[in-house]
Structure 1
Amino acid sequence: MARTRNGGSAGCSIPHVPSTVSACRTHAVTHVVQPSSQQSPHQTYSTLMKRKRSKRQHTRKGAYSTTSIKTLPRDSLVEVVATVAAHSFVDLHTIKLCCKDFLDAAEDNYVWQRVSLDMFPLIQWFPNSKETSFLNRCRECGNIESLYREGLQKFFDYPNGKINNGLEILKVAAEKGHNKAKYVYGMISLCSENDEVRKQGLEYMHFLRKLKCVVSCRKKVKQLLKSVWKNNVVLVRNSRPLCNVNSTCKGWRVKKDRWVLLDDDDDDGDMSLCEYCRWDHEMESFYRLFNI
């Protein structure tokens, strides 16, 4: 008959306790688990050890998490925060509340250059001091989205004589890698009567098509321009299509009356098809944004 821990006899034996557990018994005395009438000594022992393991794991995880952030160099912290900021302004606000390290990194100019402005309308009809201060800081730090918006506003600020200046700002934002600026500048260039300017516009649009983001850029531009009064004098429909082939081209012109590009996955990636027809179709969509 095996002996229990309190010296009595029992019908079941207690399994061998490892030495590491024995070493913890003295500490465990202050946290004795009183066995209920429905628990065997073995179950009581298992309950105690589960609690100790859970506490030990929680402590290790907490210590590891704090140590890992503290050991990151500042450049890495700034890159993490900038990536979050580029995705969402709301997420930036959230990560700043996580710890002081992220809060300090969020003040780096690089973060302000990349922070997303998607939740802010193009024109602040009733701006408050916090929004104005935030947007001014973005502009001062060279935020590309802010630059793109400034170009849009000046381009459509007719007849105040800022059309060319707005177009130049859009070009700078496009050259810095802003895809929506590439789309707007590229499409405005395709509306030109100047063949050289149209060629430059084609280069931007071809680049966006390879990235499969033409349709998504158009939708975002449409959403942003909802609050803008669009004067039809600024943009004029180009009477010359890019594709001047009288007969049916390979692919695009055959389908032009029977399909709609709902997203970028619908955009045919076969570059052997008539590229000019593809952009003639896109120009029709662009004209509709401005009621031309």
Structure 2
Amino acid sequence: MLPKRTLSNFEKLPNDLLGDILSRVAEISRTSLRNTMAASPELAKVANDKRVNKKMNLNPLAMKPLQALNRYTQLMERCLQHRNTEVHYIKGIQEYFHRNNTNIGLHHLKSAAEGSYENGMYIYGIIMLCRGAEEEGKKYLEKLGWKQNKGKATQC
């Protein structure tokens, strides 16, 4: 039988506060969150906090959304349940362009755009322009602030 491990002062903090801290770690890097969870079983329990899944940094998947088609499904579902904007973008790209489910894809891309995810705002705005919904498309493209900052175009 393993000896009972004593909790650190950090692990003794209230779960609500730990959830907030872990959500900030998740926002910076999924790898850092995974390392934190591996270091402490107590913190791993708290990592299921909805704020963690909502703020989870999925940028590596967002840059290559088709790689997540058959992988990361549980992570993607958890993040979708908590309205993570990056996962809406990833699902939108997958559905709209790969699976040819344009309505579902647009729903996810619009959710990403409404959540102020810049790549989502850009792609949703462009798609709306191409589909003839000029006002809708312009609305999201203008939110990117391209008129004020021309360098913004190269970021998306």
Secondary structure of the corresponding residue to residue 206 of structure 1: coil
Please tell me whether Structure 1 or Structure 2 has the larger radius of gyration of its CA atoms.
1
Q: Structure 1 residues 98 and 191 mapped into 2: Cα distance closer, same or farther (>3 Å)?
A: same
Quote how far apart the aligned CAs of 1:82 are: 1.0
Verify: 1:73 aligned to 2:24, yes or no. Answer: no
User: What does 1:150-165 align with in structure 2 at a 5 Å threshold?
Assistant: 150-157=91-98, 160=100, 162-165=101-104
Summarize deviations over 1:61-97 as a string: whole Å, max 9, x none.
xxxxx33x14533222111111111221111111112
2:112 to 173, 190, 199: 173
**In 2, are the aligned partners of 1:189 and 1:201 still within 8 Å (CA)?**
no
2:145 to 175, 199, 206: 206
Q: Structure 1 residues 209 and 174 mapped into 2: Cα distance closer, same or farther (>3 Å)?
A: farther
Q: Structure 1 residues 72 and 175 mapped into 2: Cα distance closer, same or farther (>3 Å)?
A: same
Aligned to 2:36: 95
- TM, length-normalised to structure 1: 0.43
RMSD of aligned Cα (Å): 3.1
Aligned to 1:123: 66
Aligned residue pairs total 147
Structure 2, unpaired ranges of 5+: 1-7
Summarize deviations over 1:44-73 as a string: whole Å, max 9, x none.
xxxxxxxxxxxxxxxxxxxxxx33x14533
Structure 1, unpaired ranges of 5+: 1-65, 219-292
Counterpart-to-counterpart distance in 2, 1:85 and 1:173: 18
Quote how far apart the aligned CAs of 1:213 are: 5.1
Q: Structure 1 residues 92 and 197 mapped into 2: Cα distance closer, same or farther (>3 Å)?
A: same
User: What does 1:198-237 align with in structure 2 at a 5 Å threshold?
Assistant: 198-206=137-145, 214-216=153-155, 218=156
Summarize deviations over 1:166-188 as a string: whole Å, max 9, x none.
22321122112322211211233
Bigger Cα displacement from structure 2, 93-102 vs 185-194: 185-194
Aligned to 1:109: 50
Secondary structure of the corresponding residue to residue 58 of structure 2: coil
Quote how far apart the aligned CAs of 1:157 are: 3.9
**In 2, are the aligned partners of 1:189 and 1:200 still within 8 Å (CA)?**
no
Counterpart-to-counterpart distance in 2, 1:176 and 1:208: 21
- TM, length-normalised to structure 2: 0.72
Q: Higher helix share goes to which structure?
A: 2
Higher relative contact order (CA 8 A, sep 6+): 2
**In 1, are the aligned partners of 2:11 and 2:43 still within 8 Å (CA)?**
no
Aligned to 1:144: 85
Aligned to 2:24: 83
Quote how far apart the aligned CAs of 1:207 are: 7.4
Bigger Cα displacement from structure 2, 140-149 vs 200-209: 200-209
Percent of matched pairs sharing the same residue: 28
Q: Structure 1 residues 205 and 105 mapped into 2: Cα distance closer, same or farther (>3 Å)?
A: same
Counterpart-to-counterpart distance in 1, 2:147 and 2:51: 25
Aligned to 1:248: none
